[in-house]
Chain A
Amino acid sequence: MAVDYDPAIIGRVFETTDPLPVTPEMVKNFCSAIGESNPIHIDAEAAKKGPYGGITAPPSFAVTFRNGQHFFQHVPRYGKQGFDAGKDVEFVGPIRPGDAISLSSHVKEIYEKTGRTGSMVFVIVRSTLTNQKGEVVAHVDHRFMSRT
């Protein structure tokens, strides 16, 4: 094993958040913040003629949902410094105003690598977003990097 951790931690779901209602204002504000101008996200009339028959949130809206506040107590930490090293998002279905999104997270992978600046450990946390119908709408892989 390249880096020391309890293998049992991989895949274990620690916490599922309470459903968070998605309001029209949240979608509107998000579009405004990122400069989204596609009518299917901001114009109800235009969106009716679109592929989903109504307004949907932009795909990157999926990264706005947070893990539960106790989640990171269970995630192993390495070294003294760390930072968010990026996110990979797999879009599965649309998120619409009126949906209620729950987020369930687990540690997907832990690995070590070396680079120009030294050794690093990466902890990948996969969050699965589910709507009120139990449909998965997205998977978000959060990549956390620590210096060792």
Chain B
Amino acid sequence: MSTTLDLHSHSEASEDSRAPLEAYLNWLKLRSTERPVDGIVLTEHRQFNQDADYRALEDKFGILVLKASEVETDYGHVLVFGVTEEMTRRFDFANVHLPAQEVIDEIAHMGGVAIPCHPGRPNVGLCEHYGKKPPLENVIAVEVLNGGSRKGEDERSEALVQQYGYRAIGGSDSHLVSLIGLCATRFDAEIRTTDDLVRELRGGAYEPVDFRPRRKPVPQAIPVEVK
């Protein structure tokens, strides 16, 4: 049984989002045909709420809700899955200058997985930093599809994956209710817990999936000779 998860989303717990979790889940339930995701991962900016419990909403909507974090490093933004208290003691998640190599290596050592997100984005993505500094080691995957990408950003991310052989994930990076589930990651395995997710990200089979509606091509103007 496969599982499709939006691995990158922000609820109103993030300072720049106005999206309540319940509204996200309601939206996904109403649009389950266009955006067939089984669950979402809340990756709040520069924080992790160990005590947050979303089981009541999970049960109400039948959609899995997992918790992670998006931290900021000297190589751009990084999603951290499988966050533990040990990790939050080791790293100040509010620090926007965390050392990326240490984050990747030590998060892995402590049982989680750290995945650079929107690598094609200026300033906060890997591509720009790889142009100035040595590439990071032990990166297992990057976010190739990001629902907030501007023109050309996902293409740069794809080129990075091709160059370095990274695996690829997708996430909406939603900060607004209507954007949840636009991009996601389809896993071959069933995922019910954060431990399942970390295990599959490390060694399972998965691929990014894009549910963004295709824009209709703009009709070409046909020149007419005026007499």
Binding site for B on A (CB under 8 A): 1-2, 111-119, 122
CB neighbours of B76 from chain A (8 A): 114
Supposing A111-B46, A122-B15 touch, asked if A116 and B72 sit within 8 A by C-beta, the answer is no
Interface of chain A: mostly helix, strand, loop or mixed: strand
B94 at the interface (CB under 8 A from A): yes
- A113 contacts which of B72, B92, B121 (Cβ < 8 Å)? B72
CB neighbours of B124 from chain A (8 A): 114-116
Supposing A113-B45, A114-B123 touch, asked if A119 and B96 sit within 8 A by C-beta, the answer is yes
CB neighbours of A2 from chain B (8 A): 46, 92, 94-97
Supposing A1-B94, A2-B92, A122-B15 touch, asked if A113 and B46 sit within 8 A by C-beta, the answer is yes
B20 at the interface (CB under 8 A from A): no
* B96 near A112: Cβ-Cβ < 8 Å: yes
What CA separation (Å) do A13 and B117 show in the bound complex?
39
* A118 near B92: Cβ-Cβ < 8 Å: no
B77 at the interface (CB under 8 A from A): yes
What CA separation (Å) do A116 and B120 show in the bound complex?
10
What CA separation (Å) do A52 and B46 show in the bound complex?
42
Supposing A2-B46, A122-B15 touch, asked if A113 and B96 sit within 8 A by C-beta, the answer is yes
6 contacts between A and B (CB under 8 A): A1-B92, A113-B46, A113-B96, A115-B124, A117-B122, A118-B123
Binding site for A on B (CB under 8 A): 15-16, 45-46, 72, 76-77, 92, 94-97, 121-124
CB neighbours of B96 from chain A (8 A): 2, 112-114, 119
CB neighbours of B46 from chain A (8 A): 2, 111, 113
What CA separation (Å) do A118 and B16 show in the bound complex?
16
CB neighbours of B95 from chain A (8 A): 1-2
**A121 to B: closest C-beta gap in Å:** 10
CB neighbours of A115 from chain B (8 A): 123-124
**B210 to A: closest C-beta gap in Å:** 21
**A120 to B: closest C-beta gap in Å:** 9
**Chain B residue with minimal CB distance to A120?**
B96
**Chain B residue with minimal CB distance to A117?**
B123
- Most B CB contacts (10 A, CB to CB) among A114, A117, A118 go to A114
**B194 to A: closest C-beta gap in Å:** 25
CB neighbours of B92 from chain A (8 A): 1-2
* B94 near A116: Cβ-Cβ < 8 Å: no
Supplied contacts A116-B123, A119-B96, 11 more A-B pairs, CB within 8 Å = A1-B95, A2-B92, A2-B96, A111-B94, A112-B96, A113-B45, A114-B76, A115-B123, A116-B121, A116-B122, A117-B123
What CA separation (Å) do A116 and B77 show in the bound complex?
11
**B136 to A: closest C-beta gap in Å:** 17
CB neighbours of A119 from chain B (8 A): 96
CB neighbours of B45 from chain A (8 A): 113
The 3 A-B pairs at the shortest CB distance, nearest first, are namely A2-B94, A2-B95, A116-B122
CB neighbours of A117 from chain B (8 A): 122-123
CB neighbours of A118 from chain B (8 A): 123
**B159 to A: closest C-beta gap in Å:** 18
**B150 to A: closest C-beta gap in Å:** 8
**Chain B residue with minimal CB distance to A119?**
B96
**A79 to B: closest C-beta gap in Å:** 14
- Most A CB contacts (10 A, CB to CB) among B76, B77, B94, B121 go to B94
**A1 to B: closest C-beta gap in Å:** 7
CB neighbours of A116 from chain B (8 A): 121-124
What CA separation (Å) do A115 and B125 show in the bound complex?
9
